[in-house]
Structure 1
Amino acid sequence: MLSLKNLRGPLLLLAFALLAGCKADVMNPSGDVAAQQRDLILISTMLMLLIIVPVIILTLWFAWKYRQSNTEAEYAPDWDHSTHLELVIWAAPLLIIIALGAVTWISTHTLDPYRPLQRVAAGRPVAADVKPLVVEVVALDWKWLFFYPEQGIATVNELAAPVDRPIQFKITASTVMNSFFIPALAGQIYAMPGMETKLHAVINKAGEYKGISANYSGAGFSGMHFKFHGLSQADFDKWVQTAKANGGELSREKYLALEKPSEREPVRLYANVAPGLYDAILNRCVENKRMCMKDMMAIDARGGQGKPGTFNLVASSQSNRTYVGALCTTNNLTGAVTTPVAQPL
């Protein structure tokens, strides 16, 4: 019978064989933003190793030199201070912390995901006449929905962008908090319902890359991934035309059906998208007869609604949607309640 000790070698070989198939996109990126983030990881690691490596070496050296069997090692039980040693112990870490702080401060501002790109690659600034490709991202349970407002299309679990063109992602979620992450393109950024986060990035190499959810969001989380295609401008135009030729219609009713939880959804293309659908998703008002969050906030910004504000809103609104079922007043003297009066909004 084989023991665990005898199986150790074959198990290690199996582990290395499995790891050989891994693709380290984070350390081998294809986008300029991800490349800068990789460089930041390497620089920070090297700076910290300047302390870690000498400490490990000295620990091993002291353990060997002052081992019990080494009778020739110097024995100084009354030693308690060395100015030179104190300077090295305190000065070296202090300089490294200063260097790490400077690198972190610069990179925090340079790689701010909300900041529009200043370059598409090292030494290649963004041309003045180039506009970013806008992609609106919605994290659903458990799939990804992408809107291309400029092209007028939408996709599920498939994303594409031209090489060397800046991309501006606008990101939100339908229900729970999630995280949008394409390791080869840029770092992860959270998607939250009722809020919009942004990410600016660029892909520099044509190819097919993996996009994932980096925040656990329930039972279907493990299958919540998609393909990101870096394409030439000509191939991207063909991809858009394919979506327009073969895609369906994404109305508000079809979106509400799509929004229901489902796992491992196939790629879907939509040639027509209901006007203002992304904005309605962001403001939580896709369904009929629901006030949008931005309208609620506008009312709050004007000091709240109150009874006079309610009457004014009812009287001035031209919408067919009904938000207030009745407006009631109480007679404080008799305790009687007036007949409710319903008004369409």
Structure 2
Amino acid sequence: MNRTKGLSVLLLFIFSALLLSGCENNLLVFDPQGPVAREIMGLINYSIVLMLLVTGVVFALFIYIVWKYREKKENMDYEPPEEHGSTLLEVIWTIIPIVIIVALTIPTVKTIYATEKVPKGYEDQKPLVIHVTSADWKWIFSYPEQGIETINYVNIPEDRPIDFKLTSAGTMQSFWIPQLAGQKYTMAHAETQLYMVADNPGSYVGKNTNFNGRGFAEMEFETLVQTKEDFDKWVKEVKETAPQMTEKEYEKKLEPSHLGRETFSNTHLEWVDHSDHNSKNYLNPEMYDRGHGWPGKIFEDKNNYKNRLKDSDGGSRHHSGSSTEDSHGGEHHGN
């Protein structure tokens, strides 16, 4: 009797702790601000309810069995008979997990396919194409139609489909805006695609969820959703006032570092598209020294842009810099 009460108290304590811990954190995925994020939240809620149902049944059976077959004075000398199993029970507890998996798989697949295209109700609108390039440890956003580029922030209009074309200048990252869309990986010499729509103007946090070194924790960006008028005004202002970036400046920015917000009136797509399988390699492994004296291995890659310097210098040119040094760039022309 006392053991059963103790078990019940323990389960109640664990459930309360989980509930309270969830309330204390700002769970952005449960505050969707767009149709894609709502699709994902619906799947999360469905999965939670299904898992709670399964967990509840399992714990209820556990408590019932512990109570029913507990040791009592009248059965102290009880010896259970030899059992040879039950075919019916074995079939049942084999089928149940299959049913659970199917119940999770069907809505998951439907949600995946729904988020891989322009959300319903926006099919007649032309998506705004934004190329996203990740680098250690910064995010670069290129607007090919507008001919502008930003670093560590992205401005988008409300109620218009956004077509993010994702790639990486080096290591693999994971692009995620919890309140607006799901996450997708960015990989060098490859391109992934992410659609989303934002319902309401406001500022939403974006981040990298793939651990890739000491600068990972601060690799965040702001997604500023604006009205169409404010977005057009911002684009016009950037084209008139922001400086242009050169290829040499861009290569420097790709070195492992943290940058501030920067804005340019051109894009790096003029000279390199990192999603192209034949594009140059911009990895800088010799700059990842974590203080232990052993930087990453420097792989000789004839496609690496720095190998162009060997013929003229007689060897590989040393690049100074530190991954711990913050680099704060130009003026932010957004919010």
TM-score normalized by structure 1?
A: 0.67
Does 1:126 find its partner at 2:122?
Answer: yes
2:28 maps to what in 1? 25
1:52 maps to what in 2? 55
| Residues 274 and 60 of structure 1: CA distance in aligned 2, closer, same or farther (over 3 Å) | closer
Does 1:279 find its partner at 2:273?
Answer: yes
Partner of 1:209, secondary structure, is strand
Q: 1:244 aligns with which of 225, 231, 239?
A: 239
Q: 2:132, 2:138 → 1: CA distance?
A: 11
Partner of 1:135, secondary structure, is strand
Q: Show CA shifts across 1:65-84 (max 9, x none).
A: 322236489x7823846677
2:44 maps to what in 1? 41
Does 1:158 find its partner at 2:161?
Answer: no
| Residues 21 and 169 of structure 1: CA distance in aligned 2, closer, same or farther (over 3 Å) | same
Contact persistence 2:191–2:275 (CA under 8 A) = no
Q: Structure 2 unaligned segments of length 5 or more: list them.
A: 1-17, 283-307, 312-335
Partner of 2:198, secondary structure, is coil
The code of the aligned residue for 1:188 comes to Q
2:118 maps to what in 1? 117
Aligned length: 265
Q: 2:42, 2:218 → 1: CA distance?
A: 30
The structural deviation recorded for 1:179 is 1.2
Deviating more after overlay: 213-222 vs 18-27? 18-27
Q: Structure 1 unaligned segments of length 5 or more: list them.
A: 1-14, 120-124, 288-321, 326-345
1:194 maps to what in 2? 189
The structural deviation recorded for 1:22 is 3.2
2:168 maps to what in 1? 173
Contact persistence 2:115–2:195 (CA under 8 A) = no
Q: 2:143, 2:136 → 1: CA distance?
A: 20
Contact persistence 2:207–2:221 (CA under 8 A) = yes
Q: 1:230, 1:105 → 2: CA distance?
A: 29
The code of the aligned residue for 1:22 comes to N
The code of the aligned residue for 2:273 comes to D
Q: 2:177 aligns with which of 182, 194, 218?
A: 182
Does 1:77 find its partner at 2:80?
Answer: yes
1:4 maps to what in 2? none
Contact persistence 1:51–1:93 (CA under 8 A) = no
> For the aligned residues, what is the CA RMSD?
3.2
Partner of 2:41, secondary structure, is helix
Q: 1:239, 1:72 → 2: CA distance?
A: 81
2:299 maps to what in 1? none
Q: 1:70, 1:49 → 2: CA distance?
A: 36
The structural deviation recorded for 1:103 is 2.1
The structural deviation recorded for 1:96 is 2.9
1:307 maps to what in 2? none
Partner of 1:279, secondary structure, is coil
Structure possessing the higher relative contact order (Cα contacts under 8 Å, 6 or more residues apart): 2
| Residues 64 and 178 of structure 1: CA distance in aligned 2, closer, same or farther (over 3 Å) | same
Q: 2:269, 2:147 → 1: CA distance?
A: 9
Partner of 2:266, secondary structure, is strand
Q: 2:133, 2:180 → 1: CA distance?
A: 18
The code of the aligned residue for 2:66 comes to A
2:230 maps to what in 1? 235
| Residues 18 and 226 of structure 1: CA distance in aligned 2, closer, same or farther (over 3 Å) | farther
1:137 maps to what in 2? 132
Deviating more after overlay: 52-61 vs 132-141? 52-61
Q: 1:266 aligns with which of 260, 264, 274?
A: 260
| Residues 92 and 273 of structure 1: CA distance in aligned 2, closer, same or farther (over 3 Å) | closer
Q: 1:99 aligns with which of 77, 80, 103?
A: 103
Partner of 2:37, secondary structure, is helix
The structural deviation recorded for 1:252 is 1.2
The structural deviation recorded for 1:196 is 1.4
The structural deviation recorded for 1:98 is 2.9
TM-score normalized by structure 2?
A: 0.69
Contact persistence 1:140–1:261 (CA under 8 A) = yes
2:201 maps to what in 1? 206
| Residues 56 and 126 of structure 1: CA distance in aligned 2, closer, same or farther (over 3 Å) | same
Larger radius of gyration: 1
| Residues 245 and 23 of structure 1: CA distance in aligned 2, closer, same or farther (over 3 Å) | farther
Q: 1:18, 1:82 → 2: CA distance?
A: 42
Q: Show CA shifts across 1:155-194 (max 9, x none).
A: 0001111112111111111111111111111111111111
| Residues 161 and 17 of structure 1: CA distance in aligned 2, closer, same or farther (over 3 Å) | same
Percent identity of paired positions between Structure 1 and Structure 2: 35
1:254 maps to what in 2? 249
